[in-house]
Amino acid sequence: MSVHRRTTGQEVVLDSVDWTVHRGQHWALLGPNGAGKTTMLRLTGALLHPTTGTVDVLGYRLGRVDVRELRARIGFVNAAQKVPLDATAHTVVLTGATGTVQPLWRMYDAAARERAHLLLAELDCKELARRAFGDCSGGQRARILIARALMSDPSLLLLDEPFNALDLPSREDLVDALYRLATGRPGLSTVTVTHHPEELPPSTSHAFLLREGRELVSGPVETVLTSENFTACFGRPIRVESYDGRWYARSTAVSPERRRREPQPSQDPRP
């Protein structure tokens, strides 16, 4: 499958990507800025069609299915999600049932309201139910939006940089929440776009490295998140290490100035 730039129709945004996500798998999608990660996620979320090739999502081929029905079965979380800031966290989660920005009150029965409470509890946001979304912290908002995306009980959850601008405790809370989701919902598949392997929960099963619109490597996470692959993907020496099921990356390129001032990095640094 390939995608060309909409404006010119010439430049290739994604080229010959061949990718399958199976039920219950948890993928990380990584690559430099502009590599095509969001484009890949939008294709997977039936928000974009390929220019050439085919995309099958949850057994349906894009172009031959009512995308509105398909989108209802996919949870999509991104920072661009429009949310009324004065709506309570509970209301924001409820809008996930209708896929709307504003609540459609007549559409939510008692079961839906209860489900929204349960999802907030699952994402560790139970106490935020009555708080205005605009008064919630970035980390709380991220978890509320995930609860919102789960309202339609999707089989596929797509997360586009969910850790954006989170501080360390909020990041760790979200890592825990995603880990609990993955382990508590065996039928759910997830794809998480991120710039930092530190943000990946230990439940991450697979990874896909994208560079300049092409697949560099994909497969089981432990075979993909390697220093060699990251160095090739980001175009500079990067050391990747795994510790307690988490992943850590840092550049090993040292400027001549720093080399003069500081000792060389040891051969066996611990994160």
Ligand X SMILES: Nc1ncnc2c1ncn2[C@@H]1O[C@H](COP(=O)(O)OP(=O)(O)OP(=O)(O)O)[C@@H](O)[C@H]1O
The pair of structure tokens assigned to 163 is 């850790």
267 binds ligand X, rule: CB under 6 A:
no
- Among the residue ranges 26-34, 70-78, 91-99, 116-124, the one whose residues contact ligand X (CB under 6 A): 26-34
Residue 13 or 147 having the CB closest to ligand X: 13
Asked whether position 235 contacts ligand X by CB under 6 A, the answer is no
Q: Which helix (H) or strand (E) holds 234?
A: helix 227-234
Note whether 140 and 126 are within 8 A (CB).
Answer: no
Nearer to ligand X, 35 or 136 (CB): 35
Among 1, 13, 87, 147, binds ligand X (CB under 6 A): 13
Residue with tokens 């920005």: 101
Residue 33 binding ligand X, by CB under 6 A? yes
State which of residues 26, 28, 36, 89 lies at the interface with ligand X (CB under 6 A): 36
Residue with smaller CB distance to ligand X, 6 or 23: 6
User: For residue 147, which of 207, 94, 187 has the smallest C-alpha distance?
Assistant: 94
State the chain's maximal CA–CA distance in angstroms: 68
The β-bridge partners of 193 are 29, 160
Instruction: Assess 238 for contact with ligand X (CB under 6 A).
Output: no
Residues 6+ apart with CB under 8 A from 15: 2, 213, 214
Instruction: Rank residues 17 and 156 by Cβ distance to ligand X and give the closer one.
Output: 17
CB of 5 to ligand X, least distance (A): 5
Q: Which residues pair with 189 in a beta bridge?
A: 156
Q: Which stretch binds ligand X (CB under 6 A): 4-12, 74-82, 87-95, 103-111?
A: 4-12
| Residue 34 binds ligand X (CB under 6 A) | yes
Total residues interacting with ligand X, rule: CB under 6 A: 12
| List 28, 38, 200, 202, residue binding ligand X (CB under 6 A) | 38
Tokens of 160: 């586009």
Residues whose CB is less than 8 angstroms from the CB of residue 115 and which lie 6 or more positions away in sequence, other chains included: 97, 151
Q: What is d(CA 173, CA 230) in angstroms, rounded to the nearest whole number?
A: 26
For the bound state, the minimum distance from the C-beta of residue 198 to ligand X, rounded and expressed in Å, comes to: 16
Please list every residue from 39 through 58 that binds ligand X, using CB under 6 A: 39
Query: Which strand (E) or helix (H) includes residue 140?
Result: helix 138-150
Binding status of residue 196 toward ligand X by CB under 6 A: no
Among 17, 26, 28, 37, binds ligand X (CB under 6 A): 37
C-alpha span between 19 and 41 (Å, rounded): 12
| Residue ranges in contact with ligand X by CB under 6 A | 5-7, 13, 31, 33-39
